[in-house]
Amino acid sequence: MGWDFNTKNLAQNIHFLETFNNDVAKILKKEIRQGANEVAKASRRRIPQSGLRNWGAWTFSRDGRDLGFIGGWVKRGIVVETNRSRARGETVSYGHRVVSKTPAGAIFELAGSKSKSPMALAMKGKHSVANYPRTLFPAYYEAMPAALQKIEAAVEKAKKAGA
């Protein structure tokens, strides 16, 4: 479960910098990741301490996965991942994804979006949303202006350093 965002022509700039000035490329990628982390922080702020009453320890009987909801664990599971594609050694797309990596986080993000189970209906009642995913979608729109400013500043800094 995640949310992508990309900046125009970023892949070509990353490839160029990696080819000709890898030190600047490393700095640029680090600063872009920090921009993307703005969305992750906004999503973490929206995670409650408890998902539903009595949603504590819960081990899935078929495969033993821990589906228990503990707010701190779910918050730590919201991370930024690099989303990169290459063709013939050249970077053709580069961006980041903000994802919820814990099973409980994924359940919290999507419960009630399609299912009519008692748990899904309880989630819709307690944590109602207009769109799913429950925290990632609004966090994207809340933090994206700040993230884009950081990313654009990082690209401009890299252009000046590479000039």
Give the pLDDT confidence score for residue 162 in this predicted structure.
61
The predicted-structure confidence for 118-153, as pLDDT tens digits, reads as follows 877 887 777 777 777 888 889 999 998 998 898 888
* 20 contacts: CB under 8 Å, gap ≥ 6: 162
Contact 4, 97 (CB under 8 A): yes
Inter-CA distances, 4 with 55, 71, 135, Å: 29, 23, 14
Select the more confidently predicted residue: 142 or 16.
142
| pLDDT surpassing 80 at residue 160 | no
What domain range includes position 103? Answer: 2-162
The tokens of 29 are what? 């990628």
For residue 57, the Cα-to-chain-centroid distance in whole angstroms is 25
Select the more confidently predicted residue: 117 or 162.
117
Mean pLDDT value across the chain: 82
Q: How many domains does the chain have?
A: 1
pTM (predicted TM-score): 0.76
